[in-house]
A = this chain, B = another copy of it.
Amino acid sequence: MTIVTLTTDFGVSDGYVGAMKGVILGLAPSATIVDISHDVTRQDVRHGVRVLAASTPFFPSGTIHVAVVDPGVGTSRRGIGLRTSCATFVGPDNGLFTPFLQERVACVALTNPAMHRHPVSNTFHGRDVFAPVAAHLVNGLSLADLGPPVEDPIRLPEPQPERLADGRLRAEVVYVDRFGNLITNLRPIEWGIDDTRGIRVVLRGASLAVQRTYADGAPGQLLALVGSDGCLEIAVREGSAAERLGLGVGARLIVQGV
């Protein structure tokens, strides 16, 4: 049994995801298909990155992750197969797999037409390239069968927190989840901060202590906490911090006491 996960920006109202599932099961009946998400914001590669980073590390070794957020479909952008020590990723070479590039063991361009479904449409490589490639991997073909090595897969910039001259840290909001939580790029543990009780987050003139969980605030209260991915985030209990503060991706905040 090999697991094939699917992550797309297709939604499920058009049957496109169903077509991909059919192609995979038609070629590899033993595949176990698992939906991660089809609600990635349309053509928002960074959103796709977040969804993959939040979910794929928890799957068993050997899982094949197919991801399609692909504004460049049909152009000269490559398709790639990327193998790390734990998983294989299949999709467009547009930065969607940025968090996994560092641990890569192999990466190939998906140029072998024998691995594709024909005719290959110009607009739907999810069905015609990525799904059949994943199925062939389930059936035991190797990365080398898919096409030649790629040395320079595309990597999106990943903004890092910065230590300011006064010793404080400047972090940046890198994601807003559907609850309106503002998730930053600051992972306290990576800065040697085991105990977050001594630190404070400064933004918009407010100074917030770091709480343990959402329910530590009063309903409607703005609070800071370390989220389930280990990153500092700003939340409003039973509300949306993004709406309350009018902030989004790229907003900066200062962390002191670190």
| Interfacial residues, chain A to chain B (CB-CB below 8 A) | 1, 3, 5, 7, 11-23, 25-26, 29, 32-43, 47, 50-60, 63, 71-75, 121-124, 127-128, 177-179, 212-216, 225-228, 238
Contact = CB atoms under 8 A, between A and B. Distances in A.
Given A11-B178, A15-B54, A75-B213, A26 B59 contact: yes
Nearest to A7: B18
Nearest to A39: B13
Contacts of A128: 228
B54 A39 contact: no
Given A15-B54, A59-B26, A213-B75, A123 B39 contact: no
A55 B5 CA distance: 18
* Copies per complex of this chain: 3
Contacts of A72: 215
30 contacts: A3-B25, A12-B36, A12-B37, A13-B37, A15-B54, A17-B36, A17-B55, A18-B36, A18-B51, A18-B58, A19-B55, A21-B55, A22-B56, A22-B58, A25-B60, A25-B63, A26-B59, A26-B60, A43-B238, A71-B214, A72-B215, A73-B214, A75-B213, A121-B228, A123-B213, A123-B225, A123-B227, A123-B228, A124-B228, A128-B228
Nearest to A23: B58
Contact of A18 (B32, B37, B75): B37
A226 B11 CA distance: 21
B26 A178 contact: no
B12 A35 contact: yes
Given A14-B177, A73-B215, A213-B123, A36 B21 contact: yes
